[in-house]
Every structure is written in C-alpha cells, then in structure tokens.
Structure 1
Amino acid sequence: FYTKEEILAMYLNQFDFLYNAVGIKSAAFTYFGKTPAELNVQEAAMLIGMCKNPSIFNPILRSNSPLPLERRNTVFQQMVKAGYLTEAEADSLSLLPIRTSFHKTDHKQGVAPYFREHLRKIMMADKPDRSDYASWQYAKYRDDSIQWEKNPLYGWCNKNRKPDGSHYNIYTDGLKIYTTINPVMQRYAEEAMQEHLAGTLQPAINRERIARGGDPFSSSISAEQRKSILHRAMRQSERWRVSKEDGLTEDQILSQFHRKTKMQIWSWQGMRDTVMTPLDSIRYVKGILRSGFVAMNPHNGYVLAYVGGINFSQFQYDMVSDGRRQTGSIIKPYLYSLSMVDGASPCDQILHVQRSYKLDNGQYWTPRNTNHRRIGEMVSIQWGLQNSDNWVTAELMSRTSPITFKRLLESFGLRGPIEATMAMSLGTPEATVGEMVSGYTTFVNDGVRVDPVLVTQIEDMHGNIVATFTPQMTEVLTADAANKMLYMLQNVINGGTGGRLRSSFGLQMPLGGKTGTTQNNSDAWFMGFTPDLVAGCWVGGEERSVRFNSMAFGQGAAAALPIFGKFIKKVYSDRNLGYLVNIPFRMPEGFSPCADAGGGEAVEVFEGIPSDSLGSNSDYSF
C-alpha cells in the first residue's frame, strides 16, 4: 500500500502542466525558473490549482483571464481549512498578482539534442511487427528485431514493467537516466563541426554554386534529374501538404512555389529574413552541407560525443544512427584485416598493376586508380593501405570471396543490406557513422568490437536502480591480425592519406585512422582513433548530387578529417579530461608486424600525392 503522501508525489510527478512540463519539478522550472524547493507559497498554490485543468487555469495561456488568479486563491482557502495558512495570511496572499518567469522547455535545444532524440526513440520502441514496415523495409524490420532481442536498451520502456504491472514511460514516471555523454567533449565536437563547415566548407561549396548560377547540384547530373529532385522536395514540404488540404490543385500549388514571399532561412550565422520563392528556398536548403560525428571509448563503449547533424532545430535527420551513406575507402581496413587473419603480413609484396578480374556472371571487373606512382613495381600491403590504393585492394579482394567479406563486414557491425560483390572492397556498402565507429574499436581492442553504450543506469522516482547497462562485445579478429592492422593504420596517419593530422593540426599523440571518399566526392569520411578514443565523421549533401567539383575540398582528408583533428586537439588540450599525449597503444612487447613475412622490403614512407594526379572521379580511392 502507498501512503497519502506517496500517492500525491506520484500524481504530481506524472501530471502534465503543458509546454512539455511533465511533473512538478519540470513545471517549477517552466513557469518560474525555480526548483520545487525554491517556490514560494503563491507559486506552489498556482501549480496545484492548475491540476484541476492545466489549460483553463494556465497563467500563460489565460494571461488576460481572471480564472488562474481565482483558482490560485481557492487553493489558499483550502490551505486555511487544512491549517497551513491563517485567514489573514490567505487574504494578504490573495491580493498578490500572479508573476511567472516562463521558460518553455524546447527539446530541440540543450546538450546533445540528436543524442537525446535517438535515446528517446530507442527506449520507447515497440516490439517490431512486420505489418508496421513497408514491403521494401525487410532489412530494417530484421535489424530492429535483432535489436529488440539483443539490445537491452532498445524498447526498454516496453520490455520492463513497474511494480504495478504497467510499462515505464520516460515522460511521466520521473525516471533518472544516466547517459554516457561527456558535456565538455560534446561541446568540443559541436564546435569542431561548426568551425570547419561554417568557416571553410560551406563558403567553398557556395562559391561553386554561384559559379553554376545558383544551382546547388553537380553539373554532372541532367536537367531532368534536377527537376525530379526539386519536385520531390516540393511534394514532401509542409507548404505542399497544407495547400493540398486547403483544396488547391497541383497547378495552383506549383504556382505558389514560384511566387516570391517573405520568409526566414537558416544560416550558420543565424536565422535570416529574406524574400525569395519557396522553390528557391528548397534550392538553398539542398545546398547546405550536412555532417555526422560520434566519439566513443573503445574499451567500455561509452558514447562520449554525438552530433547527428549541423542543427537539430532545422535538420532533424540523424546522420550518426539513421543516415546510411556509401563508405568509400574507410571500409578497406576491414578487407586488409581479413588478409591478416589469413596469414598475410603488412610487408607482403604485390605487383602494382591494373588487373581485370572475371566475375561469376562472365563479365570482368577492372578497377581504376588515382595513384599513378610505382606502376609495375612490387609494393607492400602496407603501402597499399597507406596510400589507399585500389589496385592493391582489388588484388586482396580477389584472394577471398565476396560472401566471406560480407560476413566479416557484418561482424564489424554493418547492419544494412550488403550486396556481395568484388566492388565491396572499394566502398560500395552503406553504413552509418555509428556503425563504423563501433567497427573501428576492433583495431584498438585486440580484435574485439564493442557496441556503443548510451546509458549506464536508470533510477525510478524513488532513487531505486531499475536497470544497469554493460558493454556488449564481439570477437571479430585474432589479436595478431588486429595488432597488424593497428600498426598499418598508424602509418596511414604518420605517412599516408591522413598525414594532415600531423602537418596541419600538429597532433603529437599516437594516432591511427583512414580517410574515405566516394564516387564523385558525394561522401567524405574520416575514421580516427587514439589509444582511448575512437571517432568518426561524415560530410556530404542531403542529396548525393550536392558535392564538390574537385577533391581539393571534396576528399575525406579535406572535408571530414579536419573535424576529427579539431576535436582531438581540443580534447587533448583540456587537462581536466585526462587524455595524455604520451600514452601509447597497447601492443604486445616485442611485437613485429612482419615477423612472419620471410624478409621483404621495409614499409615505405608516404611520399605525398601530387595535386595534378587527383581527378574529379575518386572511384572510392581515398
């Protein structure tokens, strides 16, 4: 049985006071900017009075009505009857006006809004039912079903019951959820993204757009393709939906989209008042670059920083957990690790020439390359990864099977559909930033991948711990193969395509990583890690046709790597965070990556890529 006080506390902790203020604590802040303990008598009486009807007796909604004041004064009279006030005190308090300090709770603001929204969706997810998914969403249904069975946080509210037998509700049950986000590192991640996109990338792609006459799309797509993209965006807009509900014909709606009107548009400098057609506003928004970034502890899986996009209020699609894009060359280390498992070493030699590989359907696959150095020479596997070389990668792919590689990718944490082809090795599979960051923890953990941990524990309204969460781990590689990959990925930074982290950012701590760029610069990636941090970043347009014309800005080393570099520099410069530049990677004493290679040349030093060798077609090379 519950006492009267406990019943009252439970009621007040679940009551909806409007404006996203659920519970007395939230209401005290929303209406007065205070904690419950800081409320005076008249403020507390007003909130209690609202419990009869939070709309009719709401001092914000009914600011010109006498009802909120009358209701508050009625509460004073009830307090007199209960002995909490004297008649004189009640009469005196009744003369006071209602004074509020309104703080509307906006879940689009605050710390890590993308993370909080992702957490909300995960915790409140229902058990997947095939009938709730479209016919083409079988892969998502399968993945959600696996998450329901294996991820204790997924659907937590619907998997667990309170003592009274009902399910938990994150809005009304007064739960205290302890997340893994580090607020300081979260701020550094958001700053790094803003500094690079607002300061460098967006101005650069704006210049290209102006040169094309204001069109945000690449000149490589046809006029019909542009028209199709814009028409689809118009039909998906709120303006189209409202106009359709108002009974307008399609021609009338299209006419509206070509008529100039006053509006506000978002920019990195803030909201701007302007006059333009709704169609031009769509073009403008399409031209804004998007990004996703996440950082986690590779040993316990704690997600420390999570930036799902550039501005949650305006762009709520989450590129960390929801957005799937082609991976480009950041997937190559997965293939190289398969070679290491099969007994290869970084020093094994491969003839650096273009080859054609016969496929099962009788056709031939002949991958291109942007690396024109050392053609016809013997090069090491290390050199191939260090320079993100397509020919070396393709040769390694020919030594295994697409099915075997597909299974390895799934072990590394890729959860989307994967077509088992030779071209997988050059980056055709799609993945989220979160999946790739989880996968790269394998290289720091002796071959063991750790799943992201978002929450450490949950307490109920009474302070009782009702759930705790520990990292889930998957053995992907042998420790020896993982250490060989760790060695090679360090050389990508120390003398390969990731060298800008040393030369441009002056980072001195041990580092490993990999750049990635997809066809025509549609997607720019960088995956990087230190001994105690793994982070990944993606940069690109909402549409794949919104991209840089050249690799000067479009490649992963230019578009995504600087965000990682800025973030790591901020983190390691903050002594309070405790990351030290002199902490080495954990590797076995006396480890030699080429001990079983039977000799061979030493691993080559990266010579740099001549700027005139970079074409506009990357063919998944960097």
Structure 2
Amino acid sequence: MSEKLTQHDIRRYNWFIWKIVIGGFFIGVIIIALTAFGVFGPLPSFRDLENPKSNQASDVLSSDKQILGKYFVQNRSNVTYNQISPNVIHALIATEDNRFYAHSGIDFGRSFTILFYNLIGKQQGGSTITQQLALNLFSERSHNKFTRLRQKLQEWVIAVRLERNYTKEEILTMYLNTVDFGAYNTFGISSAAATYFNTTPADLTADQAALLIGMVNGPGLYSPIRHPDNAISRRNFVLRRMTEEGYLSEGQSQEAKMKPLGLDFHPIDHKDGLATYFRSVLKKEVQKVLVDQDLRKSDGTPYDLDRDGLKIYTTLNYTMQQYAEEAQKEYMKQLQVQFNQHWRGRSLWKAIPDFKLLLDQGLKRSDRYRALKAQNKSDEEIREDFNTPASMNLFTWHGNIDTLMKPIDSIVYCKMLLRNAMMSMDPKTGYIKAWVGGINFEHFKYDQVKTGTRQVGSTAKPFTYAVAIDNGFSPCMQINNVPDTIYGYGKPWCPGSAPSETVPGYITLRKAMARSQNWVTAHVMKEVKPEPVAQLIKKMGITSDVPAYPTICLGTFNASVYDMTGAYSVFANEGLWTEPTYLLRIEDKNGNLLYDHKARVVQAMNPETAYVMTYMLKGVVDEGTGWRLRSKYGLKNPIGGKTGTTQNNSDGWFIGVTPQLVTGVWTGCEDRAIHFRSTNLGEGANSALPVFALYMKKVYADKNLGIRTNIDFAMPPRGINITLDCGAYNQQQQGTAEVENKLGF
C-alpha cells in the first residue's frame, strides 16, 4: 500500500508541472522570436509584404477591351474585393475559417477544437485563411515533417505581419487571387470562374462558388472534370457549411444542392483562343520593348511578361479577328479538297523535282528528329524510327485526328497541306484589325504574316504603274500589248505571257493592270526604269531586299503579308505610309503606363498619284482578275485590289483596298515546289481572293463595326490634273496631235 501524498508533495508536483508549462511557453516564445528574426530561414521584408510575389498572367487586350489571350507561368488574373461575389467570400469563410473576422492571423483557440469539429462532422483545416495565404505567397508546402514544422512557425509570423499590414478584405482578396484551382494551370478566382463557368467572379452563384471553394483543399481530388462525383459531394458540404454559418437559408441550400455541376469549361492555353499567331509575334515584340526600354519594377528588377500581370493593349478588333479566322477556315477547307483532288492518283516523287530532298529537309526540321538526335540516335536508327508506324495526331480542317502511321508519311501529309495567312488594317491610322498567321498554331507555329516572306508576283505591278502615273502617264494611255525587251541590266529580259491570258492589240494602262498583262507592264518598266520603282517600294514600307532590276515589276522579290498590306494602304491614305501598328501601349498590373507606341508616318507618294492608283485598282475588280468579288460574292461597293500569282502557281495573293480597310491574303504550300499544276486553280483569284471576299461580307454585315459600303475613296483636296475619262483623254490626245501636225512636229 503506497504512502499517502502530503500537501507539500502536491504543491511540489504542481510547481514541477507549472515549470514545464512555463518553460515550454518560454521555449515556444523564443522559437517564434528566433523565427521572426530569420534564424530558421529568411522571412519576407515589409516591402515583400506590401508587394507579395505571386505569378500573375499578363493580359492581351483587343481594341474593344476583350481578352485575346494571356501570357503566363500560372494562369492568374487579379481582381478587387468588389469584383468578387459575396457567395465566394461566404463559402470560403464558412469552409476554411469561420472565425476569420475574430482572430489576428492565428486562431489558437481553433487549434484546440479541430479534433472536436472533425468528430461532429464539421471538418476544419488547421490553418487560418491568413496562414494559408502566407503559404501561397511565400513558400511551397514541404513533405518533410521537420521542414514543415519550420514552415508552420514561419507562416504564423508572416500571418501576424499580414494581419497588421492589410485589412481583412484585402487578405481575402489576396488569398482568392493566389489559390490553385487545378486544371490547365488555373490560379485565382478570376481564372477559375472563366475556366470552369465562362463567367466573372462577380457573377458566381452560390452553387458555383461552393464548387470552386470546395476545390481549394484538393483541386485534383475534387476536380469537376476528372472526379465529378467527388466535386458534387464536396460542393454540397460547402453549401451545408454556408447554411450552418447563416449565409444561406435551408431552402436556398437545398435548391443549390439539387443543381447539376453546370460547367461551361473553357480551359485557357497558349495554343487556344483567337489570334494565336499574332500573340506569338506580339510576345517577342513586348519582350524586346521591355529590354530595349530597360523597363523595371520599383525594386529594380526587370519585368517578366509571364509573371508580372502586365496589360498589353493592341489594335486588333475582337470581332473582326473572329471573322477573319472564320473566313479562312470556311474557304481553305474547300480549297484543300480541290488541291487533294487535283493531286489524286499522281506520284509526288515523279511529279515534283527533288521531292526526296524536300522530305529530308522536313524530317530534319521536325521535333521528332531533334528529340532522337538528343538521344544520340544514329541516322540509320532515326530513319528506321521514321519508317515505323506510330501514334500520330494530325491537323485536318474537320478537327485534329489520332491515327497510326509512319512519321515519314505524316511529313508528306503536312507538306501537301495548303497554308494561308491574312492581315487587315485601317489605312488611315495604320491599326491592324485582324491577323491570321497560319492555318493552325498548335501544329504549324510559323507565322506567315510578318515572320515569313514569299514571292509577291503580280501584286507588285501597281508599284511600277504608280511611278508611271507620278511621271505624267494616264490610266487611259494605250500601249500595244506585244513583247518588249529591256536591255542594260545584265542579260536582256522580256517576260512571257500565256496566250490564253493575253489581251491582243492596244489596251489602256488601266486595263493592262486590271487584266495583269505582263508585256504592257514590262513596257512601262522600260519607260520609268527600275531604280525609281525600287525606291518607291522601299518608301512604301517593304523591308525585304528589292533589287533595282526590271523583273521586280512582275514581283520576283519576296515580301511579307504585313509589309505588302502596309504598302497598299498608301493608295487608300492619300499617299501616306502609316506604319502598320498592333501594339498600342503596355501598363503594369496597377494601370501605370510603361510604354506608349508612336507610329512612323512617311509621305510615300503624292495624293494625286495615290488617288489615281485607287482608280486603277478598282479596275481590277470591275473588269479584271478580281471580277469574282462582284459576280460571285456580290460586293458592289467601291473596292480596289490586285491578284498575284507567282511562277508555277507557287503563291497566290490578293490584296483588297477599300476606304476603311486594306486586307492582304496569301496562300501556298510550305515548299514552293509543291503547288497547283494549273493556273486556273492556283491563281490568286482562286486561292486567296475568296478568303478576302468572305471576310469582307462578314465585316459589312456587322453594322456595329462601322465599316460602310456607301463611301468611296476621297478625292485630294486640290483635285487631280490627270484625266480619268478615257473619252475625254482621247479627244485631248487627238487635239494635241492635230496641233503638232499643224506646227510641223
């Protein structure tokens, strides 16, 4: 039988216990103090707390303030407290931290009740919202127990500092802007609302808010895409917690629980959305601006386009971009069928010189080849791999398809796909309204609007005629359409002219350009000389090499759709070349202006010449190679333009000119050696003009765009001295001849 404890023993034991408790308390205080002083690792400074580091997506905005796309490491866009539905706030507090407004960052009382809450079914996490924010902003959760303990102490310190420096509303907003919502790198409530419900945070209903907040503690486990049953169960739990905390009535909660998930899933990816080629080019341009202008944040570090939430304002019109992409898809789907039928049953190896060389080039440019090379595979092993059937994902105009085929055959397939690019701009301001750089950015990332150049063919002819007009030639001047050889520039040169396309006899300059006559164009070049033509082409914004040789009158030089469209805008803008502009300004995430673009303007030709050239270009549509715009597509308003077809039909062009829009379209295969074998199919009038026509029909039909059909090109304020009435011109010429005869000339 043990001895009875005396009162002295009890006091001694109590004091011992109190010493342990007090000692433990002081040790805890010392550990927290050491944590606060950074002994266990650096903590964010006050400036860091004022400017928390969270990767925020940069937005690319259209001229009508719609988001064309984003650049991001994490798909995150910040919103303010007032832009968040109360349903989201209530769901978050009810589920994650129901005493949020009562504590100062750490809820010690809550820590002792976690077990009790879990026992009665009210599941509660161990960290307050402020502590979770600290973890989201400044560290990554460690799976090592000791490291996690150190992180927990740091979170406490950071949480207290956050509470001292921010209001409760600001903390909730920062938390909701940083939390991970799973699919496609979606961070923040704004991106989550757009991705899962195609809406804004302000418009989230109670059931939608409950679904998203339910994902916070397990975006994978509670994903409505991968685990819809789990997502519904978790959503209903959040709705129950909202009811228990008084944010919803029982009836509202039951009604919300009965709803289906109701997803409107719009995952945001770099390869998705509108203007993918444009955004790729724009990204390089913005990065160059940030470096060239040495733009830096307040802490002295350079801006990061993928992380710093910049706002990039562009000239593209969201609706017109949609119409441009729709027009391309609608016609190129038909043209590819024509192309496939045209080549059906013919051997590419026999019909196309050096086709094997083209395949070898395609093979060595492929991602698959580079990956195999990186694995130190020999050429024999690589060729064996390319001749072994494998799972392939291919682009078609009816959607991507998964199939089993030899990789080398997939290269042949891609080589035989027609490519297309177009750009549309306002000739007065230089603002680019639509930019379609290719047929599918996911599969073919090379931009063909600005990055790529192709031979321009007959779209170069107006440059030669413009020099002639500037030198006093009249559109009514008649020239015999016969061969005319040019000497003095190396080998004597005279172009060919297909008999079926040649207009015999004397024809006017306007008709010669309208019907794209090579011999008359060469005669005009012989008169005006190549040097002034080359100089004019450069003044009109062509940045590629244009040698001063007679052949440039037929477009033997290369140029981009971007440059050619900009050049044609001179005709519609009274002779002024206004730099084609797509980047307007860059702002930081707080709306502060970082960069403002100023476009260059050059007087490329006099207004009278420009106006006469619009009259010449209208002839192409009214009586020349662009006649389909009138007869087939029903466009009756004032339109000028020029078709272009290069040698062997390798490239098809059409550049359309109206008073408010100038639009350039190019079509061809990746390799110039692969093309339509007949001009009837390969000419620009068939391969490029229809894309322009379909685009303009959509634009004109949308009255909200303000692109009108009832306006014509403006006459220069001082009028013109060149006679456009060919009847009057002929009388003038006859009168002049009679006077010369009388004077003995």
The answer to whether structure 1 residue 202 and structure 2 residue 331 are counterparts is no
Q: Matched residue of 1:357: which SS?
A: coil
| Contact 1:218/1:548 (8 A) holds in 2 | no
Q: Is residue 113 from structure 1 mapped to residue 276 from structure 2 by the alignment?
A: yes
Say if 2:707 is the partner of 1:579: yes
Aligned partner (choices 370, 373, 376) of residue 498 of structure 2: 370
Q: 1:349 to 1:32 in 2, by over 3 A?
A: closer
1:257 alignment counterpart:
386
SS in 2 for 1:539: strand
8 Å Cα contact 1:13/1:172 also seen in 2? no
C-alpha distance 554-33 of structure 1, shift in aligned 2 (>3 A): closer
TM-score in terms of structure 1 length: 0.77
Q: In the aligned structure 2, how far is the partner of 1:473 from the partner of 1:106?
A: 37
- How many corresponding residue pairs? 539
Per-residue CA distance 1:124-152 (angstroms, 9 max, x = gap): 12xxxxxxxxxxxxxxxxxxxxxxxxxxx
**What is the CA distance between 1:457 and its match in structure 2?**
3.5
Give the corresponding residue for 1:212: 346
Q: Which residue of 320, 341, 346 corresponds with 1:185? A: 320
In structure 2, the partner of 1:240 is: 369
Distance 1:258 1:579, change over 3 A: same
Higher relative CO (CA 8 A, sep ≥ 6), structure 1 or 2? 1
- The alpha-carbon deviation at position 275 of structure 1 amounts to 3.0
Q: Which moved more, 1:405-414 or 1:530-539?
A: 405-414
SS of the residue aligned with 1:424? Answer: helix
In the other structure, the counterpart of 2:624 is 496
Structure 1 residue 411 and structure 2 residue 539: aligned?
yes
1:398 counterpart = 2:526:
yes
Q: 1:207 is matched by which residue type in structure 2?
A: Q
1:468, CA displacement in angstroms? 3.5
The aligned amino acid for 1:531 is P
SS in 2 for 1:418: coil
The reply on whether 1:554 has 2:717 as its aligned counterpart is no
Change (3 A) 1:533 1:397: same
Counterpart of 2:636 in structure 1: which amino acid?
Q
Greater gyration radius = 2
Residues 345 and 596 in structure 1, CA contact (< 8 A), matched pair in contact too: no
Aligned amino acid, residue 208 of structure 1: H
1:429, distance to aligned residue in structure 2 (A): 1.0
Secondary structure of 1:492's aligned partner: helix
CA distance in 1, matches of 2:645, 2:503: 22
Q: By how many angstroms is 1:546 displaced?
A: 1.6
Structure 1: stretches of 5+ with no match in the other structure? 65-75, 77-85, 90-98, 126-153, 604-622
Helix, strand or coil for the counterpart of 1:282?
Answer: helix
Distance 2:456 2:379 in 1: 39
Structure 2 residue 285 is matched with structure 1 residue 122 = yes
Identity %: 40
Q: Name the SS for the 2:344 alignment partner.
A: helix
Q: Report the counterpart of residue 455 of structure 2 in structure 1.
A: 326
CA drift of 1:538 comes to 0.3
Q: Is the 8 A contact 2:214 2:222 kept in 1?
A: no
Q: Which string of whole-angstrom CA distances, capped at 9 and with x for unpartnered residues, describes residues 310-337 of structure 1?
A: 1111111111111100000101111111
TM-score, length basis structure 2? 0.65
Matches of 1:392 and 1:455 in 2, distance apart?
41
- Which residue of structure 1 lines up, in the alignment, with residue 304 of structure 2? 169
Structure 1 letter corresponding to 2:653: W
Pick closer, same or farther for the CA change 1:29–1:218 going to 2, 3 Å: farther
Alpha-carbon distance in 1 for matches of 2:176, 2:292: 20
Mapped contact 2:181–2:215 kept (Cα < 8 A) = no
- Contact 2:611-2:714 at 8 Å conserved across structures: no
User: Does the aligned pair in 2 maintain the 1:516–1:556 contact within 8 Å?
Assistant: yes
- Change in 2 beyond 3 A, CA 1:410/1:218: farther
Amino acid at match of 1:342: N
Residue 355 of structure 1 corresponds to which residue in structure 2?
484
Distance 1:186 1:276 in 2: 35
1:153-164 to structure 2, matched below 5 A, reads 154-155=289-290, 159-164=294-299
Contact 2:179 2:187 in 1 (8 A): yes
Aligned residue in 2 for 1:434: 562
2:662 aligned counterpart, secondary structure: strand
User: Whole-Å Cα distance in 1 between the matches of residues 212 and 608 of structure 2?
Assistant: 66
Name the residue aligned to 2:98. none
The aligned residue for residue 79 of structure 1 is none
Q: Shift of residue 11 of structure 1?
A: 10
Q: Residue 303 of structure 1 corresponds to which residue in structure 2?
A: 432
- CA displacement, residues 287-311 of structure 1 (integer Å, 9 cap, x when unaligned): 0100001111111122111111111
Tell me which residue corresponds to 2:649.
Answer: 521
Q: Quick one: distance in 1 between partners of 2:245 and 2:710? A: 71
Query: Secondary structure of 1:263's match?
Result: strand
Q: More deviation in 507-516 or 306-315?
A: 306-315
Q: Which structure 2 residue ranges, 5 or more long, are not aligned?
A: 1-46, 51-164, 228-237, 239-243, 248-260, 733-745
Correspondent of 1:26 among 191, 208, 229 = 191
Q: Is the 8 A contact 1:123 1:157 kept in 2?
A: no
Which structure carries more helix by proportion? 2
Q: Do 2:475 and 2:724's aligned partners in 1 also have CA atoms closer than 8 Å? A: no
* Distance apart, 1:557 and its partner CA: 0.7
SS at match of 2:528: coil
- Matches of 1:599 and 1:35, distance apart in 2: 65
Amino acid in structure 2 at the alignment position of 1:191: E
